[in-house]
Structure 1
């Protein structure tokens, strides 16, 4: 365990011990009383709008009765800190790390692993998506989904699925996160929400929305809409040396402001039909965002006009739409319970980018007289669609077990159209600068990707006294077709994988339970990994070329854990996990020179051998009732994460896996005043990445959030929250080399230190039920 992880663990140990010791003793003494107490689970009956708006108490983690290990958190667990998106909410759950920019929470790194290892589900279904950042790999093209596109107001609960089951898709090596949206049985009545956010640059953005649920005809309807202003102003500084502790060559000072608006709408209707239940649901999210990066590069970090080397202006306009429609019909038939589910989901994204860079100091005349200007324009368009169907049947068996089997179908299609105009470069002054040419597809930019899956499964489950168990087999078949229209070439590949899984859960007492789960999971190569087209300047200034013959990555996993109920609301748990990964998929540097010339490379993907991942996860959420503080809730989760893989230079962790993730906080309710307040603190450990030619170490500062709430009567809540109160920063160090030999000998091409920082954000939000 690294020194930083040890220090963090030492810091939280007193709180953990103080909370657990008396609670455990009290729970032991009250075991008889708790034997008949209901276990906290998500509400099965609609709650009134007033209950949603005015929280009568503090919410804690739900304890589920699923056999497989699942952590469940209702929206009320997160809501008092007013998360903007599902990504912001996920910052408070165990083992979730991010390598996003400061104030961004997009690609989930469950257990610290790359986002492609985590399966993101919405209402139990996979969704297409290409992320929120420009650049294919920065945009989730590896199959990951950026959770900052789902507004928190749509969420009913979040489930962390630690180990796979046969009735779920197996592409969840690190685990799965299921974001369950409000359905027609979630709410009775309605409420409106309005507020404003103030950012560090004193700009104010708006937020407004509403939800209503109730009886409509023979069924129940829920509708909701939300408008969310988004803004993220950051400052970034880079210092570039010839080597560590060497000569400072230059510096770059950058402002990076991301400004936009998210629009969302969701609806659900549930109605009895012909002896069964019909559920229809859909959601739509639109993102309109501008990224404005402006930077100045100075020689020797002497920040005067006479030492300006370059001035750069880089703008990206992002327009994205995501939607999903599902229909499910379930009824008793054929000797059991049968369900049919159809789904259609889509994603459309368009990014227009331009970059202007003016060079100075190419002659003896400094700023403001420029020497040369370089202008680039590009456009990216992605159109994803996904059609899915499920036929599932459950039936009771004579010996007390239950049989479940089914067939799941999925067809995913992606059209990509990446275009640019020829680079426009000319010397200054110029009386007649050349005009931009027409947009044309880049190499590999006009292409289609089609993936078809047909996955049968069978699962047995049962219960005998204090023991619950399940075991199943899933057989996943995948057919992939790629067409590169710019080169007039097509490629096809297919693979079939058998995925066994099993879980047991044993109730030692009314308060204590033990569980164990094992499963085989898979990670498929992404479209970009498979396409053999050379994408120029795709990874920074480096090119990328895919490999059609890549094999899928598979892993055997084990999760073993223990949970204890603490009183009637609290719960504490510890989980140990292990993954053995085969045919690891990783980017690597081919060593060939890139299209941008000296110092750039061509990267590719490969099956890089085997690896191992392991860790310990602890979580606690409980009121301090046993010491007379029934209106005080404490929250703590800590995950220690580690892994091992060999590359050209020896052993290392999986790239960019954080050493640890820590969350700790409390909420104090003041019932007589109709008020409450709370604080939460988050910190994640150092992350290290190594490929041929570059090594990156990333660290984050701590993130402190606070809220103060006032409840007015039974229908109104006003809440003031502050986030990023410690001005959190992201620091990265880059070791850059020209050849493998230079990297082994530590002969540096460049050493760069980069720091990104953002200031606090304040929100004032009011909700009113009706």
Structure 2
């Protein structure tokens, strides 16, 4: 608590300093947003330090142009989002995949591309290529595609309501974003001395009666990590064994985007699309030793686990605007898709599992599995805006149809011992129980919204009615599940300008969180939650939440801005994991093997240490916090070429489970970002540093409790501008050899968990080294 208070005071100190800076620079006018395309040379050679934009939207929105992130050379949208307020990740070191806005599970955050939803799938952390909630993973969007990122803190009636924590809108470059072109080329060097290349380019200009923008990018990806696990019988107890692991993820991302905008029949037509392909190979090799004595005599197991991942994401969209019926009518059509394939192989050799040493008995096991997912989403929107006296009326309807086919297959476990000269052949792949599944969701969401402005006051209020029809077909079992519901979502926002530089705002909205596909799927997924199996429930209801955001913003001179925001969420019908009481398949197999080896049932029961988990609606929860952000030049002290950046978010929540009160699972205590950029105009150079730290995150389900902590993340860059068309930039990330630490409390029964009678206590540490990039951009 003292640490949190100290950090909060540190956050408020720059606000006071920035306020003084603003007072000294009140005569400066704010920079207007350019309506004409910027030239390629302006994109390549940044003449000024970029700061957060001050959005004029009524609803609370934070807006960041790509220039705000670009000097630190983020590879993906996820890397860029690490620098904005309240965004946490629970990823491996060097990875930024599932956005945890305000520290909440990724399913609470709505990810939009150009204001539209995208099919939810990610980077292979789950059997379907996504998290257990089906959330979209932002580490598959190359940063080079981005024009700006918007953090939408509260919902409005004209946007989808599934944004309990908020929404992140990733706006891609369109045909009016650029005039000319540039090429980006460079290389990345990783901690294992491997080098991967990167190459891309963007061009925009007049083509026929309209404007065209095209871009393409090829990005080498690599993440070499080392892991160490120490397992005890209980905290401060005897060390049972250790596991030493290398985990290397290697791959290539390919992307392409295009936009064409043209006047047609008195209106404006906008056609756009993007495509992203990910090829990735994950290689995990681990060795277990008794009591962490790392020699051949104490060797317990050797494990080789490989995963091949292939993913394609794409989106096509058309938008037409035309003045008609006394106002302006907009028609949107969209088609988006995701295809993902994963093939996993695991080979484990056991040495000291019982009194019969290797190679006698069944000592080698091999497993293979494959998963395929095919996601498509068709969307349409018809909207009309018109003046209604001093107000503006907007009404419309949105349609969305999402279809998903998922196929999970595996082979029979292959067991053999070394005297059998060669391993027996694998059986044919077969569909697991519930593994051949079809999912269909149809939504029709009408809405109406009024907005207006009166002097210093801007306001909006609206109603949205979301209807959802879900159908799930378990084809192998011949079973179909239907789940239909509708929710009324009111929303309102106010923004009041106290002065030309100071404004306050408030926003109230109701939102929903729909259960993700894996939570709804009847498929039984072995080892999906750590050592535990997982099986969804097709009849889950959505969570519903009331949310309030209240804040204050101050303009600091010409380009600076500072703000503070307080938020609260009241969530009902929580979707939580729980223990069904059944044991996992692995635990049952281990129990039966022990019985076959002549062990008594009581002794064999020691193998029953993992369970079948499920999901259910249970109880209510609350989430609250304070968010502060600052980005400004230090003009007040004569350092107009020095930009400072700071955001700090204090996050908290409360939910009750079988063991009492806790925070929402895996919500970080805080998120801190601080940094500076120093421009050297005379030398045509710049340099900068940014530091990031997020607080501890705690998760508790039946049978397991996990506390996750991260070390600080330090990044730096040095840049040299050559003429008006060339920039060379050297960046370094993870300069502090970032660590992720996890402490696992594991129990056999609910009674054991209450009594703190441990089955196992595990400490796991994951570490990766620095990554250096040398990147050149040249305009033409």
| TM-score range for the pair, normalised by the shorter chain length | over 0.9
1:369 Cα deviation (Å)? 9.3
1:162 Cα deviation (Å)? 0.1
Contact 2:511 2:545 in 1 (8 A): yes
Cα distance in 1 for partners of 2:777, 2:360 equals 55
Select the residue among 604, 613, 637 that pairs with 2:623.
Answer: 613
Q: Who is 2:594 aligned against?
A: none
Q: Who is 2:4 aligned against?
A: 5
Q: Who is 1:578 aligned against?
A: 568
| TM-score normalised over the length of structure 1 | 0.97
1:387 Cα deviation (Å)? 0.2
Select the residue among 417, 421, 441 that pairs with 2:407.
Answer: 417
Cα distance in 2 for partners of 1:764, 1:701 equals 25
1:397 Cα deviation (Å)? 1.1
Cα distance in 1 for partners of 2:466, 2:349 equals 53
Cα distance in 2 for partners of 1:372, 1:102 equals 33
Q: Which runs of 5+ in 1 are unaligned?
A: none
Structure 1 432/206 Cα, relative in aligned 2: closer, same or farther at 3 Å? closer
Select the residue among 719, 744, 750 that pairs with 1:740.
Answer: 750
1:574 Cα deviation (Å)? 0.2
Select the residue among 441, 453, 456 that pairs with 1:463.
Answer: 453
1:372 Cα deviation (Å)? 1.2
What is the correspondence of 1:61-210 to structure 2 with a 5 Å cutoff?
61-136=52-127, 139-210=130-201
Contact 1:49 1:187 in 2 (8 A): yes
Q: Who is 1:450 aligned against?
A: 440
1:431 Cα deviation (Å)? 2.7
Structure 1 700/490 Cα, relative in aligned 2: closer, same or farther at 3 Å? same
Contact 2:127 2:525 in 1 (8 A): no
**Cα deviation per residue 1:386-413 (whole Å; 9 max; x = unaligned)?**
0000000000012x10000000000000
Q: Who is 1:279 aligned against?
A: 270
**Cα deviation per residue 1:540-567 (whole Å; 9 max; x = unaligned)?**
3322222232211000000000000000
Cα distance in 1 for partners of 2:297, 2:530 equals 28
Range that drifts further, 570-579 or 587-596? 587-596
1:426 Cα deviation (Å)? 1.2
Contact 1:360 1:370 in 2 (8 A): no
**Cα deviation per residue 1:257-281 (whole Å; 9 max; x = unaligned)?**
0000000000000000000000000
Q: Who is 1:48 aligned against?
A: 39
Cα distance in 1 for partners of 2:612, 2:413 equals 20
Q: Who is 2:475 aligned against?
A: 485
Q: Who is 2:666 aligned against?
A: 656
**Cα deviation per residue 1:229-283 (whole Å; 9 max; x = unaligned)?**
0000000000000000001000000000000000000000000000000000000
Q: Who is 1:713 aligned against?
A: 723
Contact 1:308 1:366 in 2 (8 A): no
Q: Who is 1:526 aligned against?
A: 516
Cα distance in 1 for partners of 2:397, 2:681 equals 51
Contact 2:129 2:340 in 1 (8 A): no
Contact 2:314 2:338 in 1 (8 A): yes
Give secondary structure in 2 for the equivalent of 1:184. Answer: coil
Give secondary structure in 1 for the equivalent of 2:667. Answer: coil
Q: Who is 1:426 aligned against?
A: 416
Contact 2:133 2:516 in 1 (8 A): yes
Q: Who is 2:547 aligned against?
A: 557
Cα distance in 2 for partners of 1:367, 1:593 equals 28
1:89 Cα deviation (Å)? 0.1
Contact 1:470 1:504 in 2 (8 A): yes
Residue 291 (structure 1) aligned with residue 292 (structure 2): no
1:45 Cα deviation (Å)? 1.4
Q: Who is 1:507 aligned against?
A: 497
Select the residue among 673, 678, 684 that pairs with 1:674.
Answer: 684
Q: Who is 1:644 aligned against?
A: 654
Cα distance in 2 for partners of 1:5, 1:230 equals 36
**Cα deviation per residue 1:652-687 (whole Å; 9 max; x = unaligned)?**
000000000000000000000000000000000000
Select the residue among 565, 568, 583 that pairs with 1:593.
Answer: 583
Structure 1 297/75 Cα, relative in aligned 2: closer, same or farther at 3 Å? same
1:486 Cα deviation (Å)? 1.4
Cα distance in 1 for partners of 2:682, 2:459 equals 46
**Cα deviation per residue 1:311-342 (whole Å; 9 max; x = unaligned)?**
00000000000000000000101110001000
1:591 Cα deviation (Å)? 2.1
Residue 475 (structure 1) aligned with residue 465 (structure 2): yes
Cα distance in 1 for partners of 2:524, 2:354 equals 36
Contact 1:137 1:539 in 2 (8 A): no
Residue 227 (structure 1) aligned with residue 218 (structure 2): yes
**Cα deviation per residue 1:136-191 (whole Å; 9 max; x = unaligned)?**
37723523100000000000000000000000000000000000000000000000
Give secondary structure in 2 for the equivalent of 1:21. Answer: helix
Cα distance in 1 for partners of 2:512, 2:687 equals 43
What is the correspondence of 1:22-61 to structure 2 with a 5 Å cutoff?
22-28=17-23, 30-31=25-26, 33-34=27-28, 37-41=29-33, 43-61=34-52
Cα distance in 1 for partners of 2:513, 2:368 equals 34
Cα distance in 2 for partners of 1:258, 1:690 equals 29
Q: CA RMSD in A?
A: 1.5
Aligned residue pairs: how many?
760
Contact 1:370 1:429 in 2 (8 A): no
1:365 Cα deviation (Å)? 8.5
Cα distance in 2 for partners of 1:262, 1:368 equals 43
Q: Who is 1:627 aligned against?
A: 637
Cα distance in 2 for partners of 1:116, 1:362 equals 40
1:28 Cα deviation (Å)? 3.5
Q: Which runs of 5+ in 2 are unaligned?
A: 588-607
1:133 Cα deviation (Å)? 1.7
Q: Who is 1:21 aligned against?
A: 16
**Cα deviation per residue 1:347-370 (whole Å; 9 max; x = unaligned)?**
000000000000112577878999
Contact 2:367 2:413 in 1 (8 A): yes
Cα distance in 2 for partners of 1:289, 1:279 equals 33
Cα distance in 2 for partners of 1:125, 1:262 equals 23
Cα distance in 1 for partners of 2:347, 2:21 equals 66
Structure 1 522/667 Cα, relative in aligned 2: closer, same or farther at 3 Å? same
1:7 Cα deviation (Å)? 4.8
Structure 1 363/493 Cα, relative in aligned 2: closer, same or farther at 3 Å? closer
Cα distance in 2 for partners of 1:529, 1:705 equals 37
Cα distance in 1 for partners of 2:757, 2:362 equals 33
Give secondary structure in 1 for the equivalent of 2:496. Answer: strand
Cα distance in 2 for partners of 1:5, 1:370 equals 56
Contact 2:551 2:566 in 1 (8 A): yes
What is the correspondence of 1:350-389 to structure 2 with a 5 Å cutoff?
350-362=341-353, 372-389=363-380
Cα distance in 1 for partners of 2:241, 2:94 equals 27
**Cα deviation per residue 1:516-546 (whole Å; 9 max; x = unaligned)?**
0000000011222223343333323322222
Q: Who is 2:605 aligned against?
A: none
Select the residue among 489, 492, 495 that pairs with 2:485.
Answer: 495
